[in-house]
Amino acid sequence: MLLVLSAMPEEIEALRPRLDGVRISAVAGREVLHGTLAGAPVALAFARWGKVAAASTTAQLILRERPWGVIFTGIAGALQDGLEPGDLVVARELYQHDLDASPFYAPTVVPLLGRAALPTDAPLSAGLLAAAERWRDEDPQTAPRRIVHADVATGDQVIGTRQARERVRQRVPTAACVEMEGAAVAQVCEEFGLPFACLRMISDRADERLTPDEVFALARRSGAGAGEILTRGLSAPAARP
């Protein structure tokens, strides 16, 4: 079984129609949708906002569901020039831009792990990239204009000003986008020894405030896009362990 976590409940709503044989359960106040997607067993859940909530959700569901891997989906603010709303980032490595355990560790280094970079699983990420490119080939009108495999910055703040955006870029200069959960989920998966991958759809340039309605609309678009990619990716024989 594959565990799919999302940063927004609207993304789960957009993904739900793709799920066959839906069964609902609950754990620690989280609703979990079980079923099959492209014939593969999956569990879908809203991870909740922020690093602590997402890490808690991930650990709870790993212990209960025993998945073979975890995929995180959601929207993110662009840090690299050239990325526009609707573009897709498949994470390569994730960093906690707001983590600073100085003087014991350098900024962004995870205590006890001894490094800042939290890598995604190469085969799982390659499968998502291939599925996204297949979507673009088959339906260029709805697929992302640009698909990149790049680093992601994570922190417990909504980044919505130019000053805040520049601070994140200085902390993680290789990051293509910034969000609030990915690196925390990556750390939990690493500690459990599980393959992990992360999809992020660009919502804005992380230097302006979106209205709640705009965020919710973008989250639904992100969920629909994740559904397109997962349907194509999970239907491939190599995608199943």
Residues 223, 73: contact at Cβ < 8 Å? yes
Q: E-assigned strands of 67-141?
A: 69-78, 88-96, 118-119
- Give me the pLDDT at residue 207, please: 77
Residues acting as catalytic residues? 11, 204
Residue ranges and CATH numbers for the domains of the chain are 2-239 (3.40.50.1580)
pLDDT at position 25: 95
d(CA 64, CA 56): 12
List CB contacts of 212: < 8 A, sequence separation 6 or more. Answer: none
Q: Which residues contact 226 (CB under 8 A, 6 or more apart)?
A: 4, 6, 11, 14, 15, 73, 199, 201
Contact 91, 200 (CB under 8 A): yes
Residue 192 CA from chain centroid, whole number: 18
In the DSSP assignment, the letter for residue 141 is: T
pTM of the model: 0.94
**pLDDT computed for residue 237 by the predictor:** 52
pLDDT, one tens digit for every residue, the chain (241 residues): 999 999 899 999 999 999 999 999 998 889 999 999 999 999 999 999 999 999 999 999 999 999 999 999 999 999 998 999 999 999 999 999 999 999 999 999 999 898 999 999 999 999 999 999 999 999 999 999 999 999 999 999 988 889 999 999 999 999 999 999 999 999 999 999 999 999 999 988 877 777 888 888 888 999 999 999 999 988 765 555 5
Report the pLDDT value the prediction gives residue 241, as an integer from 0 to 100.
Answer: 58
